[in-house]
Amino acid sequence: MWSGQPQQDEGLPVGLSAIPVPWKNLGPSKSNRESSGGLVEASTSWEEAQGEEHPAPAPLDVSRLRSSSMEIREKGSEFLKEELYKAQKELKLKDEECERLCKVRAQLEQELEELTASLFEEAHKMVREANMKQATSEKQLKEAWGKVDTTLFAEFQAWRASPTLDKSCPFLERVYREDVGPCLDFTVQELSALVRTAVEDNTLTIEPVASQTLPAVKVPTVECNNTNTCALSGLARTCHHRIRLGDSDSHYYISPSSRARITAVCNFFTYIRYIQQGLVRQDAEPMFWEIMRLRKGMSLAKLGFFPQEA
């Protein structure tokens, strides 16, 4: 064990020179314990300082994450529900439209079937009526053939084989003698002959009476420009028509009776001209009966039977 005067430390201030004290080793002293404690405190302080400089990561908020996840899930579920509702609504509308179209199609098909059935029924009815009319016509034709002079038909067939407007052929000669001549035989003979020639040449014109004043045209013993006197019969009649012969500027006022007689003859000549030109394409029997109808018209007009509007 060392004891003695301690040396004065060099380099220290004089006032801080160590004081010589006896030294004993009695275990850890209080100062050592304080030093250890100081080291621990220093270490703790350093760790705290380090903690303040570099803070540790905060723990995750699990409840908040769960709440956000549930909120997102609820919003997604609501969106899907809305989309599903819209889709169901559109599907319902489409189903209703399809159902409506199906009903319309079914109604149209039913109406079409009814219309088709009605048309078939109407067509069959028309065919039956046509057949009945044909049978009746054939029956009437057979009955008429029993009453018709076969000579007339023979003359017509001979004329039809070589149609001509020459009135010297047997067929036309008979018609002229029995129908045309008497029908155009008026009181004023000179004018009657002119009218007959114009009808044969197809140059006669019949027109309604106009309001304008026409120059006076004289025919023997008859004043032709008088609308109250017929130029052909010489009788006092209201004249609603007048005739013009060829390219002449002269007009002759005629009564309704005279007009009906001239018109009947013109209708006959028009038909036989059509036959001659090949415009009538029928069998001999229909042609013959049409000519007989026209001859009947001339006979009635000759006797004074004519429509009131003539």
Closest by CA position to 183, among listed 274, 244, 257:
257
Instruction: Identify whether residues 193 and 290 lie together within a single domain.
Output: yes
Instruction: Identify whether residues 116 and 171 lie together within a single domain.
Output: no
Mean predicted confidence (pLDDT) in 73-90: 86
Share of residues in the chain with pLDDT > 90 (%): 40
pLDDT at 184 over 90: yes
In a domain, 42, yes or no: no
> Are residues 155 and 172 in contact, defined by beta-carbon separation less than 8 angstroms?
no
Q: Tell me what the pLDDT averaged over the chain comes to.
A: 79
Q: Which of 83-92, 153-162, 271-280 has the lowest mean pLDDT?
A: 83-92
pTM of the model: 0.52
Closest by CA position to 253, among listed 200, 305, 211, 209:
209
In a domain, 115, yes or no: yes
Mean predicted confidence (pLDDT) in 50-65: 59
pLDDT for 159 equals: 96
Instruction: Identify whether residues 103 and 155 lie together within a single domain.
Output: no
Mean predicted confidence (pLDDT) in 189-194: 95
In a domain, 41, yes or no: no
Q: How far apart are the C-alpha atoms of 63 and 86, rounded to whole Å?
A: 35
Instruction: Identify whether residues 192 and 297 lie together within a single domain.
Output: yes
Instruction: Identify whether residues 206 and 240 lie together within a single domain.
Output: yes
In a domain, 229, yes or no: yes
pLDDT for 252 equals: 94
In a domain, 248, yes or no: yes
Q: How far apart are the C-alpha atoms of 184 and 163, rounded to whole Å?
A: 23
Instruction: Identify whether residues 115 and 178 lie together within a single domain.
Output: no
- Show which of 117, 146, 175 is a domain's final residue: 146
Q: Which of 95-99, 238-242, 294-298 has the lowest mean pLDDT?
A: 95-99
Mean predicted confidence (pLDDT) in 244-266: 93
In a domain, 60, yes or no: no
Instruction: Identify whether residues 180 and 258 lie together within a single domain.
Output: yes
pLDDT at 298 over 60: yes
> pLDDT class for 249, splitting at 50, 70, 90?
confident
Q: φ and ψ at 205, to 5 degrees?
A: -120, 130
Instruction: Identify whether residues 278 and 161 lie together within a single domain.
Output: yes
Instruction: Identify whether residues 137 and 193 lie together within a single domain.
Output: no
pLDDT for 55 equals: 53
Instruction: Identify whether residues 85 and 190 lie together within a single domain.
Output: no
Q: Which of 147-156, 181-190, 259-268 has the lowest mean pLDDT?
A: 147-156
> pLDDT class for 188, splitting at 50, 70, 90?
very high
Instruction: Identify whether residues 95 and 128 lie together within a single domain.
Output: yes
In a domain, 45, yes or no: no
- Show which of 146, 169, 198 is a domain's final residue: 146
pLDDT at 29 over 90: no
Q: What is the extent of the structural domain holding 283? A: 150-210+225-303
The string of pLDDT tens digits covering residues 147-158 is 667 889 999 999
Mean predicted confidence (pLDDT) in 57-77: 74
pLDDT at 231 over 80: yes
> Are residues 233 and 195 in contact, defined by beta-carbon separation less than 8 angstroms?
no
How many domains in the chain? 2
In a domain, 47, yes or no: no
The string of pLDDT tens digits covering residues 92-145 is 888 888 988 999 999 899 888 888 888 888 888 898 888 888 888 777 767 766
Residues 6+ apart with CB under 8 A from 301: 183, 257, 260, 261, 263, 264
pLDDT for 225 equals: 55
Instruction: Identify whether residues 90 and 125 lie together within a single domain.
Output: yes
Q: How far apart are the C-alpha atoms of 159 and 150, rounded to whole Å?
A: 14
